[in-house]
Amino acid sequence: MSGSIKSLRALAAGAAATALLSLTATAPSAHAAPEAAHEPAPPTDCALPGRTGWTDEGHATDYTQFQRPLGTKHVLMLFVDFPDAQASGSTSGYYRQLAPAADWMKRDSYGRTRLDITPLNRWIRMPQDSTGYGFQRGITFEQHELYVRQAVAASDPYADFSRYDMIYIVPAKSASAISFSPTYLYDPTTAGITADGKRVKWAVTFGQDMWHWGYKVADHETSHTFGLPDLYAFTGTDYHHFVRGWDLMGNIAGPAPQHVGWERWKFGWIDDRQVACLPSTGSRTVRLKAVESPGGTKIAVVRTGETTAYVAESRKAVGADSHACSTGVLIYKVDSSVQTGDGPIQIVNGNPGAIPPSGCQDLDMAAFRTGQSFSDPATGVRIDVDSSGPLHDEVTITKH
């Protein structure tokens, strides 16, 4: 699929062990009474530190190494062909394939992040054959940086790189050797790439998989430049068993692919005031507004350790999630110490016996409905779904 080169280096790592989770369906009255005597904890008490030194689900993102995911990001789109894989026709079809990523990002971020994509409407000839760059799962950082460096150098006479925050490099369809779409991320320990007096820190190098995944592959890869890990598995045979189609960083073509609320909080797309936090023992009842719709409280978080928490959010079949296979409360575990590709977010399946309709798979049916509850005896966490509406769900979160 996709991912940064350091993500690819993690292929040899084993998948993270999945915690044993206990699911029960009970009446809403079975949960403990909400705690009313104390002020709610500040949301920052539920923010988790990153512990991987790379892309992860922690809040302490290094915005020197990664892009801050707010405001307008000016993107230069380059089109490249090769001596052994020359382009025919114009670049316009390639641009149209990826350009909708800008509208998708704007809607996904509630307008807080915008991609201003400027195409350099000409084919740029690369100095090497397409087969010489090592675009396979064993591609190294050095090979990838060479590809980016040569594309920038060949384009430099026609573009002012000082005007852009990042670049997209799009290969000709005939270049079958450029197969997938890794992201080039800034490494401050290397000399790097400089053009027009500016360091080129971030680039998405698209492959032929862009014609399979569509424009959302640009949103997925750009999210890596914001510091997000991959949520699909790097090992095994079922690559999507962690989150299935509930997040863009998992299955790009999933039925409900908007970023989960936790990542929106990490990005600053939702504010602290939109987060309900339970960092220690107690109970809170929270009205959650659907992640797909602006405003309201977006996530309820129960912290369970230094780098772990459970999160509940309301997911509805609207907006970019209009094809969601199930709706209601999505519950998932976050571990900010887990490496990309090993399951830093894992969805809890609230309906493991459901038969998925056509186009859906087991975990796509995961949303909890009114009257259902989740409990994890190991951490003392319980989440009850009390009621539901067209754009909201009410939950009670408890920690014993």
* 134 and 178 together in one domain: yes
- Which pLDDT belongs to residue 147? 97
pLDDT tens, per residue, the chain with 400 residues:
556 654 444 433 333 333 333 333 333 334 444 444 468 899 999 999 999 999 999 999 999 999 999 999 999 999 999 999 999 999 999 999 999 999 999 999 999 999 999 999 999 999 999 999 999 767 899 999 999 999 999 999 999 999 999 999 999 999 999 999 999 999 988 899 999 999 999 999 999 999 999 999 999 999 999 999 999 999 999 999 999 999 999 999 999 999 999 999 999 999 999 999 999 999 999 999 999 999 999 999 999 999 999 999 999 999 999 999 999 999 999 999 999 999 999 999 999 999 999 999 999 999 999 999 999 999 999 999 999 999 999 999 999 9
Is 7 within a domain?
Answer: no
Full-model pTM: 0.91
Alpha-helical (H) ranges within the chain are 5-9, 92-98, 101-108, 141-155, 210-213, 216-225, 261-267
198 and 97 share one domain: yes
Instruction: Indicate if 33 and 104 belong to the same structural domain.
Output: no
Task: List residues bridging with 372 in a β-sheet.
Answer: 25
For residue 278, give every residue at least 6 positions away whose Cβ sits within 8 Å of its Cβ, in sequence order, or none: 41, 46, 284, 300, 301, 302, 303, 397, 398, 399
- Strand order of the sheet with strand 71-81? 2-4, 181-184, 203-205, 166-171, 71-81, 113-125
pLDDT of residue 192: 95
Domain termination site, one of 225, 251, 282 = 225
Residue numbers of the domain that contains 160: 71-225
Confirm whether 233 is domain-assigned.
no
Assess whether 394 and 250 both reside in one domain: yes
Q: How many Å apart are CA 206 and CA 209, to the nearest integer?
A: 8
> Residues 196, 286: one domain?
no
pLDDT given for residue 16 in this prediction: 36
- Same domain? 254 vs 391: yes
**Cβ neighbours of 384 (radius 10 Å):** 27
| 371 assigned to some structural domain | yes
Q: How many domains does the chain have?
A: 2
* Of residues 100, 124, 102, the one with CA closest to residue 113: 102
Please check whether residue 1 lies inside any domain of the structure: no
Do 122 and 45 reside in the same domain of the chain? no
Q: Domain for residue 309, yes or no?
A: yes
pLDDT of res. 271: 98
Picking from 201, 225, 249, the residue at the C-terminal end of a domain is 225
Question: In terms of domains, do 319 and 214 share one?
Answer: no
Do residue 23 and residue 106 come from a single domain? Answer: no
Say if 62 falls within a structural domain: no
Together in a domain, 177 and 270: no
Are 248 and 390 part of one and the same domain? yes
Whether 173 and 42 share a structural domain: no
Alpha-carbon distance of 262 to 270, in angstroms, equals 9
Q: State residue 107's pLDDT score.
A: 97
Among the listed residues 82, 40, 16, the one whose alpha carbon sits nearest the alpha carbon of residue 231:
16
Cα–Cα distances in angstroms (integers) from residue 335 to residues 7, 306, 312, 344, 367, in the given order: 17, 9, 15, 5, 20
**Is residue 236 assigned to a domain?**
no
